[in-house]
């Protein structure tokens, strides 16, 4: 990493045990290393815009931090208070080392693909993990037709469809039967949720593909991006999903490369 940040914006949203002590320790060690810290969502962030975002908590906290970092076009890193994952890498006992590496400009940088969904109102919704199209009525399947680069692909009868990034492949997409994809790759992973077909399988598309999803019945479909409730589509309405124009940038100590993170995340050591 060539540019050393001056102001660190902290995102702390978990409310789990021990987080206050870790936050206080992080602030003290950051100040001792020459960094200013601000609440990334507090009023002081407007006066001292952060040029690095740190999420302290679990993967959910870092996902929120990564959204803010992507919006501000600054890097993000996570201090882990959960289990080993792809996002939160720095353990509390390694805070001092991380800050020293940061001050020396010796942290690595990883760019991760994002995803964007254009809804009928012309709004563009940006995500890091996935775009989910799901049924509104719990007991009724929906029909969604899919076009790839303006060519008809297929129509799904299912509870919904997921389009995930490689980073998001281990979230909802995985639980719906999707593949685990190395986050160094760029791809759009489409996974049907409870499809009413024996032949429905996940499909991986090139990152330059434009995927258009159109509601093919009178049953409404809700579009969510990274779990944030979005618009509801009526019959004939579409959402277009593409790779995001700009990636999200993660700083890394190189502690957990992909194979090791996957092994720990899914308990493969005990399989």
State the number of CA atoms in the 13 A half-sphere of 150 facing the CB.
0
Residue with tokens 């509390």: 92
Residue 239 CB-density burial (10 A; 0-12 exposed, 13-18 middle, 19+ buried): buried
Q: Which residue has the higher pLDDT, 219 or 2?
A: 219
3-class DSSP state of 158: strand
Write the pLDDT tens digit of every residue in 32-80: 999 999 999 999 999 999 999 999 998 889 999 999 999 999 999 999 8
174: how many CB neighbours lie within 10 A of its CB?
20
> Would you list the domain boundaries of the chain?
7-112+247-270, 115-243
The C-alpha atoms of residue 116 and residue 201 are separated, in whole angstroms, by 23
Contact yes or no for 141/34 (Cβ under 8 A): no
CATH class of 7-112+247-270: alpha beta
Contact yes or no for 116/244 (Cβ under 8 A): yes
Q: pTM for the full model? A: 0.91
| Extended strands (E) in the chain | 7-11, 36-39, 52-57, 76-80, 108-112, 115-118, 124-127, 130-135, 142-148, 151-158, 160-164, 188-193, 203-205, 211-215, 221-225, 228-233, 238-243, 248-252
Tell which CATH classification among 1.10.540.10, 3.40.50.2000, 1.10.10.10, 2.60.200.30 matches the domain 115-243. 2.60.200.30
Q: How far is CA 211 from the centre of its chain?
A: 19
In what side-by-side order are the strands of the sheet with 76-80? 36-39, 7-11, 52-57, 76-80, 248-252, 108-112
pLDDT attached to residue 81 = 84
Beta-bridge partner residues of 39: 10
Residues designated as active site = 59
pLDDT attached to residue 198 = 77
The C-alpha atoms of residue 13 and residue 53 are separated, in whole angstroms, by 13
pLDDT attached to residue 267 = 61
The C-alpha atoms of residue 271 and residue 265 are separated, in whole angstroms, by 12
pLDDT attached to residue 237 = 98
219: how many CB neighbours lie within 10 A of its CB?
16
Contacts of 108 (CB under 8 A, 6+ apart): 1, 251, 252, 253, 254
pLDDT attached to residue 59 = 83
Write the pLDDT tens digit of every residue in 209-262: 999 999 999 999 999 999 987 899 999 999 999 999 999 999 999 866 666 666
pLDDT attached to residue 133 = 98
How many degrees, rounded to 5, is the angle at CA 189 between CA 217 and CA 168? 110
pLDDT attached to residue 89 = 81
Query: What mean pLDDT value characterizes the chain?
Result: 91
pLDDT attached to residue 139 = 82
Mean pLDDT value of segment 15-33: 91
**pLDDT beyond 80 at 266:** no
pLDDT attached to residue 260 = 66
Write the pLDDT tens digit of every residue in 178-187: 999 999 999 9
Dihedral angle over CA of 172, 173, 179, 182, nearest 10: -70
Write the pLDDT tens digit of every residue in 141-152: 999 999 999 999
Write the pLDDT tens digit of every residue in 81-139: 866 556 778 989 999 999 999 999 999 999 999 999 999 999 999 999 999 999 998 88
Mean pLDDT value of segment 169-185: 94
pLDDT attached to residue 197 = 84
pLDDT attached to residue 86 = 60
């Amino acid at each position: 990493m060539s540019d050393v940040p001056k102001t660190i914006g902290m995102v702390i949203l978990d409310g789990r045990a021990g987080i206050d002590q870790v936050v206080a320790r992080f602030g003290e060690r950051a100040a001792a290393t020459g960094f200013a810290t601000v609440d990334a969502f507090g009023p002081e962030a407007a006066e001292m815009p952060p040029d690095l975002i740190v999420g302290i908590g679990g993967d959910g906290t870092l996902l929120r931090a990564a959204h803010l970092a992507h919006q501000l076009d600054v890097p993000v890193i996570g201090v882990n208070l959960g289990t080993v994952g792809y996002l939160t890498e720095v353990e509390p006992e390694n805070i001092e080392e991380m800050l020293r590496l940061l001050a020396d400009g010796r942290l690595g940088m990883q760019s991760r693909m994002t995803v964007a969904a254009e809804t009928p109102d012309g709004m563009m919704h940006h995500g890091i993990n996935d775009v989910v199209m799901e049924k509104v009525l719990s007991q009724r399947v929906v029909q969604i037709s899919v076009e790839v680069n303006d060519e008809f692909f297929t129509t799904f009868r299912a509870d919904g469809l997921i389009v995930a990034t490689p980073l998001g492949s281990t979230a909802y997409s995985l639980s719906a039967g999707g593949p685990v994809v190395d986050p160094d790759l760029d791809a759009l992973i489409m996974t049907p949720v409870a499809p009413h077909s024996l032949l429905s399988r996940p499909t991986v598309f090139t990152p330059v593909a434009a995927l258009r999803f159109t509601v093919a019945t009178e049953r409404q479909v809700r579009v969510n991006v990274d779990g944030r409730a979005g618009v509801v589509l009526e019959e004939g309405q579409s959402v277009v999903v593409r790779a995001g124009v700009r990636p999200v940038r993660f700083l890394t100590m190189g502690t957990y490369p992909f194979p090791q993170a996957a092994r720990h995340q899914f308990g493969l050591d005990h399989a």
